[in-house]
Structure 1
Amino acid sequence: MPTARNHPATTRTEAGPAAVRRRALDGLPEVDRPTEVSTGDAQALSTALFARLETLEEGTPEHAYVRNTLVELNVSLVKFAARRFRNRVEPTEDIIQVGTIGLIKAIDRFETGRDVEFSAFALPTIVGEMKRFFRDTSWAVQVPRRLQELRIELAKAVDTLEQRLGRRPTRAELAAHLHLDEESVAEGEQASNGYVARSLDTPAGDDETAETAGARRLGAEERAFELIEALESLKPLIAGLDARDRRILELRFGEELTQAQIGERLGLSQMHISRLLTRVLDELRTGLLEDASNR
């Protein structure tokens, strides 16, 4: 369990960051380094923090503290989701920033009364935000890196202010939030017009085939990652697999080994691992479909 500090209850008259933290947590442990917490501890802490979040008034420093802690505890979900787009030309940092917007949306929408783990609830929102970013954004004209980064900051600011104001923010409100002048905001908005869908018929370079080029532009995904978005339904299906099949899944998606590396570990050929992995994934996918049809 991560290093934590329990605090006694304090009065509302106390001020300062330490007092805000104590009031926000109301006896829950304070996590020194949320991003370094193990997956299991993050899930347990998130469950407690979501219950606490529901008791706090939105817009208060206490609510903001708990909400921000939840973001830090679960940012690993964003990094996990970003792996499926590792072949994109966009920088990973940008993809993670966009995915974090999806994480924040999921935190704001999550209800503890629903019989579902937060990770299973959040991943589709995070991935959806990334896909929308790719769908809406491929630079068709050369735009300076400064303006590309400004566009991302504008998108985050619009989302934050929309939630706070209940409407789309004005240019003046965006400028104040980002500590910019309105002219700079207008420049960033204009730069967004340079983002259009790139044609799939664009000729590939000499060092790549049309197939790999198309996959690179679209963000090629492993077929298996779509299964990760159904974590709750997958658990009993995975439990029903034999030990070798579970081990192959662990090596492929837990340790991220290649099929050849898995073969070396298990004393099998890469081709054999490929056939086994395809069979296991098809079984899981079929199981999910059957489960959905029986609901």
Structure 2
Amino acid sequence: MRPTTAVKQHPHDDAPDTSADFRRLSELEALPDPSRTDEAERERLRADLVNAWLPMADRLAGRFRDRGEPYDDLRQVAALGLVKAVDRYDPAHGSAFESYAVPTVTGEIKRHFRDHTWTLHVPRRVQDLRNRVRSARQELTQTVPGRAPALAEVAERAGLSEDEARTGLEALESHSALSLDAELSGSEDGHVLGDAIGSEDPALDVVVDREAVKPELRRLPERERDILYMRFFDDMTQSRIAEQLGISQMHVSRLITRCCTRLRDRTDRQAA
């Protein structure tokens, strides 16, 4: 008696036959002026198609288990990808729906990981390196127990250069970020990470403004320069300036306003 050969079933061999529904949906969407009945039928067909293919979307979501995201969230993302596939699929192209839906749903799940699970944003190429290095390291851990795989071993298993493997290993630590309140490694005086981060020095803007206005200050008449110096550097009141120059306080006020306006306008024109 000949031995029976087991036939491996394709993961989507239980796919529903929805070709007729897709053709009808395509016809309804092509109507130039659909009636209310047509719209209701279109929405019903669309919902039926999504429900019919949800098991496939759930299986695709299951491939991404144990990667740090709740399975229920992955199922929702896969369902969103399925809805997009149903809306965009064109049966006139002749390909089966699953051949279009599988990459669409898988791409939606991968996009979710790329855009929403990284605390620190890194380039897509680096994310790909991280995934290859992670897989290689997991495989090597099973074959070389008792020690961590060396960089050269990881690079060889992943088919990468050592520099690329090193980048991927560094990216493994970039999936999440430390809190700014985390204590610095080796710190014995309670310093936290936030203490090591510098802040913008507001005096820098003052330096820039002073350097920009210097040429215009030199063009002012001597008396006006003296008034501005007494007011803003000697911190004299307008009354004291008026008394020292023998003019009215109102005149001092007008001169200060006029000088400041002139300096601002000239400096702005030069910056433009």
TM-score (structure 2 length as normaliser): 0.36
Higher relative contact order (Cα pairs below 8 Å, separated by 6+ residues):
1
**The structure with more radius of gyration:** 2
